[in-house]
Amino acid sequence: MAGGSATPTTDVLEDLVRTALTQVMDPEIRRPITELGMVRSVEVTGGTGGGARVVVGVDLTVAGCPMKSTLVKDVTAAAQTVPGVDEVSVDLGVMSAEQRTELRTMLRGGVGEPEIPFAKPGSLTKVYAIASGKGGVGKSSVTANLAVALAADGLSVGVVDADIYGFSIPRMLGVDRQPTRVDNMLLPPVAHGVKVVSIGMFVPQGQPVIWRGPMLHRALQQFLADVYWGDLDVLLLDLPPGTGDIAISVAQLLPTSEILVVTTPQVAAAEVAERAGSIATQTQQGVVGVVENMSWLEQPDGSRLELFGAGGGAKVAENLTAATGGPVDLLGQVPLDMSLREAGDAGTPVTLSDPDSPAAVALRGVARSLAARSRGLAGRRLGLSPV
């Protein structure tokens, strides 16, 4: 456009459109596209008294970006909110390698090399590792439900499926796509408002993962450092059962993470769960609390059938209080509930699909007690021991 030939009106319209575009978030990075350098151009033609045509040039982070249509829809809707704009079209392009490097550096806060943001001093993200002694007690179900419940309450939440061999989080949260790769940075898919990464997104369906300890460690490190998590309030890690390699890696990579122990009411299960929790004393991690799952089955007459016995959760909480020296509370008892399993299989956790079911009410209660532990350094172990 030649200097001075544009009418003030098109200039003003262009400014207004650019301002409107600050409201459009990249669906994966979740920051305004204007900040991310994705808006290449805004051209306004015609219609000084209304009926202007706008062409917005948008550069995608990668060609074939899976969120392309969402972006086009959001950009169009935002530009159309500007009075006088009649027609909007979006001209899609792709960032150059140079622009991508710039973006990556910006997202990492100016730091070029990957590091784990949650392990940095001053990180305000609460990190909870969901652990159990035995398999199949409901860790993944608890993780998926707490994540979506916390996100529904307005918190910014991420989930790392750290169960490398037995990953189940993608199904439970209904995620079926891979993270988008921007060079060597991964943008996690978002499901029900939660950012999710799992090894299940990288291996062909039906194929087992056969890795040894060091590779598990490396995979976990990548999930934490190479993924763009943004500013999270809470990060949940779904651990494999027991006290294996991954639990140790978590303690090493994320020393300020706290453990949430899941157990059933059965006394035998409780004893094993306690062992998982008391690792914390060796790794200097805190134990945030205990969740008892499969506590009872409500009968049609309202009575409770205690299929797996009673008292396991309270016993684990009591013994971990003694072992760790801090108060470890029983944060909730989640009944057996068919809707919980069905919702997990269908990819929308029960706290969203059937929020008033007894299991959902109990899980939302646990989420609320975690949310109440305010963001920041309060309640965090400082790694000091009395002399």
Ligand X SMILES: Nc1ncnc2c1ncn2[C@@H]1O[C@H](COP(=O)(O)OP(=O)(O)OP(=O)(O)O)[C@@H](O)[C@H]1O
Residues lying near ligand X in the complex (CB under 6 A) are found at 132, 135-141, 163, 166, 168, 241, 293-294, 334, 336-337, 340-341, 344, 359
- 8 A C-beta contact, residue 192 and residue 148: yes
To the nearest whole angstrom, how small is the minimum distance from the Cβ of residue 139 to ligand X?
4
User: Based on CB atoms, which residue is closest to ligand X, 140 or 249?
Assistant: 140
**Would you say 136 is a known binding-site residue?**
yes
3-state SS, residue 367: helix
Count of residues that interact with Mg ion, criterion CB under 5 A: 3
Residue 116 or 248: which CB sits closer to ligand X?
248
Closest by CA to 90, choosing from 43, 26, 27, 37, is 43
Shortest distance, CB of residue 132 to ligand X, whole angstroms? 6
Span of 88-96, 120-128, 162-170, 196-204 interacting with Mg ion by CB under 5 A: 162-170
> Does residue 137 have a known ligand-binding role?
yes
277 contact, one of ligand X, Mg ion, none, CB 5-8 Å limit per kind: none
> Is 182 in contact with 28 (CB distance < 8 Å)?
no
What minimum distance in Å lies between the beta carbon of 300 and Mg ion?
30
123 lies in the site for Mg ion, by CB under 5 A:
no
Tokens of 358: 């007894």
51 is in an annotated binding site: no
What H or E segment, with its residue span, contains residue 268? helix 267-283
Nearer to Mg ion, 136 or 213 (CB): 136
135 is in an annotated binding site: yes
Q: Which of Mg ion, ligand X, none lies near 141, with the C-beta cut-off 5 to 8 A by kind?
A: ligand X
68 marked as part of a ligand binding site = no
What's the N-to-C CA distance of the chain in angstroms?
74
One of 10, 61, 125, 140 touching Mg ion (CB under 5 A):
140
Task: Annotate 158-195 with three-state secondary structure.
Answer: EEEECCCCCCCHHHHHCCCCCCEEECCEEECCEECCEE
Rounded Cα distance, 116 and 229, in Å: 10
Q: Which residue's CB is nearer to ligand X, number 51 or number 244?
A: 244
| DSSP H or E run through 237 | strand 234-238
Q: How far is the CB of 52 from ligand X (least distance, A)?
A: 54
- Give the pair of three-digit tokens for residue 207: 């194929």
- Find tokens 């979740």 and name the residue: 30
Give the HSE-up count for residue 79: Cα atoms under 13 Å, Cβ half-sphere: 29
CB of 175 to ligand X, least distance (A): 16
Has 213 been labeled as part of a binding site? no
List binding-site positions for ATP: 133-140
- Return residues touching Mg ion (CB under 5 A): 139-140, 168
